[in-house]
């Protein structure tokens, strides 16, 4: 008990995890605690180490240093099948020569489970995922969405507490992807087990996660609820990675002891800023999401930026207007009915309470 006391009540605990491939360090002293029943999404660009971390959790990669606990048990050296995890892969990884039933029961047979129990579990998983009519087909005769359901079923029959998803929806087309996304969320609320989900798709991350871990270069940049990640990104990387189109970054300086932001000739009042003490910084970055700006005809000193419309992109539900302000390209989200003519001079109203200010040197949010 004394070896696990520090990890009590966590479903997964990663302690100082390091993984080196030769001279390349893929994960660096990584720590992560996942609570019971929590849905954690590991999000980041390719090569950030998110899939590597998941493979370490699964036991498919040997770690160089550090420890992994699952359900308060040290599994750092345990075989994948002995860790109490189920895993779903991007390419489904169904055994092509076996029927769906064979795929679902393969792991249970390896565990020498009695046949009646296997039948019971397969039937339950098939019922939950609505794949009963497919049980005697082979994977080759299934559609992509059906295959991924079977792959989820294979994790389900193991009756484990922890599900690991490795970009499970990346091989599906857009429509199926959103359908299965909802289904995974439904599954989570029904089973209420711990899920760790790797993706590079921020929509999946924002919609599914209880908490998102944004990763870069083998390190977790920020671990927080989706809304916090979106509204109060910890640093410039997280701010730029989350949100589509990207957050607008205005390079300037903070003046008057941090009471205002000077962007070229424009002065923006910071008294409503929601963050730490800004102070005077000769180099700072003001981050504004496209939906936290509004286009208007009249100037309001201290809270508007003069800009010129370059182009507008109607996107169905809303419309994106691209403008140029003081040499910087910016995007603003407006109602779709509002069409803007290129070359029109306008003023951008800044909602400073929802903005983020970053130190240009440390790239951290202030």
Q: Which residues bind another protein (CB under 8 A)?
A: 55, 58-60, 79-81, 85-87, 89-97, 106-107, 110-111, 138-140, 147, 154, 166
Choice between 91 and 130, CB closer to another protein: 91
Least separation in angstroms between residue 104's CB and another protein is 10
Least separation in angstroms between residue 103's CB and another protein is 8
Least separation in angstroms between residue 119's CB and another protein is 17
Choice between 80 and 245, CB closer to another protein: 80
Least separation in angstroms between residue 70's CB and another protein is 13
Distance between first and last Cα of the chain? 41
Choice between 59 and 290, CB closer to another protein: 59
Least separation in angstroms between residue 173's CB and another protein is 18
**Cβ pair 124, 108 in contact under 8 A:** no
Least separation in angstroms between residue 303's CB and another protein is 52
SS3 letters across the chain: CCCCHHHCCEEEEEEEEEEEECCEEEEEEEEEEEECCCEEEEECCCCCCHHHHHHHHHCCCCCCEEEEEECCEECCCCCHHHCCEEEECCCCCCCCCCCHHHHHHHHHHHCCCCHHHHHHHHHHHHHHHCCHHHCCCCHHHCCHHHHHHHHHHHHHCCCCCEEEEECCCCCCCHHHHHHHHHHHHHHHHHHCCEEEEEECCHHHHHHHCCEEEEEECCEEEEEECHHHHHHCCCEHHHHHHCCCCCCEEEEEEEEHHHCEEEECCEEEECCCCCCCCCCCEEEEEEEECHHHEEEECCCCCECEEEEEEEEEEECCCEEEEEEEECCEEEEEEEECCCCCCCCCEEEEEECHHHCEEEECCCCEEC
Choice between 143 and 227, CB closer to another protein: 143
Least separation in angstroms between residue 22's CB and another protein is 12
16 Ramachandran zone, left/alpha/beta (phi>0; psi -120 to 50): left
Choice between 91 and 296, CB closer to another protein: 91
Least separation in angstroms between residue 161's CB and another protein is 14
Choice between 148 and 331, CB closer to another protein: 148
Choice between 168 and 290, CB closer to another protein: 168
Choice between 8 and 109, CB closer to another protein: 109
């Amino acid at each position: 008990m004394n070896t696990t006391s520090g990890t009590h009540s966590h479903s997964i605990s990663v302690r100082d995890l390091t993984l080196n491939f030769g001279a390349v360090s893929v994960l660096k002293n990584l720590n992560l605690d996942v609570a019971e029943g929590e849905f954690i999404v590991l999000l980041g660009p390719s090569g950030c180490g998110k899939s590597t971390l998941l493979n370490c959790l699964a036991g498919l990669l040997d770690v160089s240093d550090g420890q992994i606990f699952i359900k308060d048990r040290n599994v750092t050296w345990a075989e994948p099948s002995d860790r109490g995890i189920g895993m779903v892969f991007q390419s489904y990884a169904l055994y092509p020569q076996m029927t769906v039933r064979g795929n679902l029961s393969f792991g249970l047979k390896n565990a020498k489970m009695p046949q009646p129990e296997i039948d019971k579990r397969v039937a339950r998983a098939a019922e939950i995922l609505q794949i009963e009519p497919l049980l005697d087909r082979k994977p080759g005769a299934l559609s992509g969405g059906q295959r991924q359901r079977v792959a989820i079923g294979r994790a389900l029959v193991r009756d484990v507490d922890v599900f690991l998803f490795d970009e499970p929806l990346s091989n599906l087309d857009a429509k199926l992807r959103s359908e299965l996304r909802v289904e995974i969320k439904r599954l989570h609320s029904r089973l209420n087990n711990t899920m760790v989900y790797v993706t590079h798709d921020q929509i999946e991350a924002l919609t599914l996660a209880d908490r998102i871990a944004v990763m870069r270069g083998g390190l977790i940049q920020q671990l927080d609820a989706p809304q916090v990640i979106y509204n109060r990104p910890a640093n410039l990387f997280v701010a730029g990675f989350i949100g589509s189109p990207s957050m607008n970054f205005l390079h300037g300086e903070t003046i008057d002891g941090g009471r205002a932001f000077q962007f070229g000739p424009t002065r923006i009042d910071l008294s409503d800023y929601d963050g730490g003490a800004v102070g005077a910084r000769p180099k700072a970055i003001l981050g504004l999401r496209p939906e936290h700006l509004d286009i208007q005809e009249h100037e309001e000193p201290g809270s508007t930026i003069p800009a010129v419309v370059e182009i507008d992109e109607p996107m169905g539900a809303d419309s994106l207007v691209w403008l140029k302000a003081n040499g910087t390209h910016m995007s603003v989200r407006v109602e779709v009915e509002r069409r803007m003519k290129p070359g029109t001079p306008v003023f951008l109203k800044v909602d400073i309470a929802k903005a983020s200010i970053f130190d240009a040197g440390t790239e951290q949010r202030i």
